[in-house]
Amino acid sequence: MRIGLVGYGAGGRWFHAPYIDAAEGVELVGVVTRSPERIAELHAERPGMPTYGSLTELLAAGVDAVAITTPPQTRRELVLEAIASGVHVVADKPFAPSAEAALELGDAADAAGVRLSVFHQRRRDADIQTLKGVLDSGELGTIWRFISSFDLDEPGSLEAGPHGGLLRDLGSHLVDQAYWLFGPVAAVSAHLEWVDLPEGRTDAGFALRLDHASGVASFLSASKLNRLIRRGLALYAAGGSYVATGSDVQTGAIKAGRRPKDDPSGWGFEPEVHWGSLSTAMGTRVVPSARGNHADYYTAFARAVTDGTPVPVPVSDAVEVLRVLDAARTSALEHRVVELG
């Protein structure tokens, strides 16, 4: 599958390109970027990689698929342009301005007969994969409560203004993980923390409660401005508990200069200091890290395009995540619980 990358900022450079390189059945054949700085970075890292000034130019050169990683307010039109050209699409998060807009994009892809998937790749984080293994083992019995916190000391990476905010950034991932693990959400309550920036008022931190139809309550929180670096997960259940910290090991490795294609078998394992503890009536034991690998997302997407298998994250899942994010914003602004039908 010949894929083009639209955007070479932090998202395209750190979170997409290295995993496209490591995926099976995928070849990165061109990058859309107009920034001289980004072009210089690209050519230093990938000599000879073709660059294009627009998606239109990339599509004219010929690709099977594109990954849209540009700022949130630009994605809708780019996704629609790619779909109209008959090209398959990976769309970064937040997928669309609202759940209703997401449905429009999904309908357009279906009408054009192309595959559209949303880049909720953090289902493939090592800590989430490990926790999923604990759930699948059944040792904890009925799950009562899930806690997930993700704090980063990254003031400069906060997407500012009405199209940005942390809720739609890290919130997209945390809500998607909870949805993937525990199913549809029936009710949402939220607290948002706001800052006034030149681009406009921006939510810079959040704490959410999601009541799943399955009976599980998820408590999700994140920040970027509080000078705190912390990743934590916990399950409370009828049969005991599971508690773990995490290090966002894949992102740390990428930023340190390592690449998944260079160490396929050793990539994506949390170090032992971050292994979780499972406590039941039988005692407490350490649970070794499962492997996390964001490249598997692109391998699955390539197979969906070539073999007709399901895409790694369907539009319907992204719509449900956006419904929760829309409800969370309403809850915070109106100070009430929002029921989802």
Would you say residue 323 lies in a domain? no
Would you say residue 152 lies in a domain? yes
CATH number, residue 79: 3.40.50.720
Confidence (pLDDT) at 133: 98
Do 100 and 112 reside in the same domain of the chain? yes
Q: Which structural domain range is residue 218 located in? A: 122-293
pTM reported for the whole predicted model: 0.96
Length of the chain: 341
CATH number, residue 199: 3.30.360.10
Q: What is the DSSP string of 259-287?
A: -GGG-TTTTTBPPGGG-EEEEETTEEEEE
Alpha-carbon distance of 192 to 1, in angstroms, equals: 41
pLDDT tier at 31, thresholds 50, 70, 90: very high
Dihedral sign computed on CA atoms, order 195, 197, 199, 204: negative
The answer on pLDDT for 337 being more than 90 is yes
| Residue for token pair 């990954």 | 67
Would you say residue 335 lies in a domain? no
Do 169 and 183 reside in the same domain of the chain? yes
Q: What is the DSSP letter of 127?
A: H
Helix (H) or strand (E) holding 45: helix 36-45
Do 162 and 271 reside in the same domain of the chain? yes
3-state secondary structure 59-71: HHHCCCEEEECCC
Confidence (pLDDT) at 163: 85
Do 166 and 194 reside in the same domain of the chain? yes
Alpha-carbon distance of 276 to 183, in angstroms, equals: 23
The answer on pLDDT for 341 being more than 90 is no
Do 131 and 115 reside in the same domain of the chain? no
Do 109 and 233 reside in the same domain of the chain? no
Give Cα 63 distance to the centre of its chain.
Answer: 24
Do 186 and 50 reside in the same domain of the chain? no
Do 147 and 276 reside in the same domain of the chain? yes
Confidence (pLDDT) at 162: 85
| Residue for token pair 């009828």 | 238
Do 164 and 262 reside in the same domain of the chain? yes
- What is the CB neighbour count within 10 angstroms for residue 334? 9
Alpha-carbon distance of 1 to 128, in angstroms, equals: 28
Cβ-count burial 313-331 (b if 16+ within 10 Å, e if not)? bbbebbbbbbbbbbbbbeb
Do 88 and 77 reside in the same domain of the chain? yes
Do 265 and 182 reside in the same domain of the chain? yes
Q: How confident is the model over 263-319, as pLDDT tens digits? A: 999 999 999 999 999 999 999 999 999 999 999 999 999 999 999 999 999 999 999
Q: How confident is the model over 239-257, as pLDDT tens digits? A: 999 999 988 999 999 999 9
Q: Where does residue 50 rank: exposed (0-12), middle (13-18), buried (19+ CB within 10 A)? A: middle
Question: In the chain, how many domains are there?
Answer: 2
Q: How confident is the model over 55-95, as pLDDT tens digits? A: 999 999 999 999 999 988 899 999 999 999 999 999 999 88
Do 77 and 148 reside in the same domain of the chain? no
**Per-residue CA distances from 313 to 119, 122, 180 (Å):** 7, 11, 10
**Averaged pLDDT of the chain:** 96
Alpha-carbon distance of 68 to 12, in angstroms, equals: 8
Q: How confident is the model over 165-190, as pLDDT tens digits? A: 999 999 999 999 999 999 999 999 99
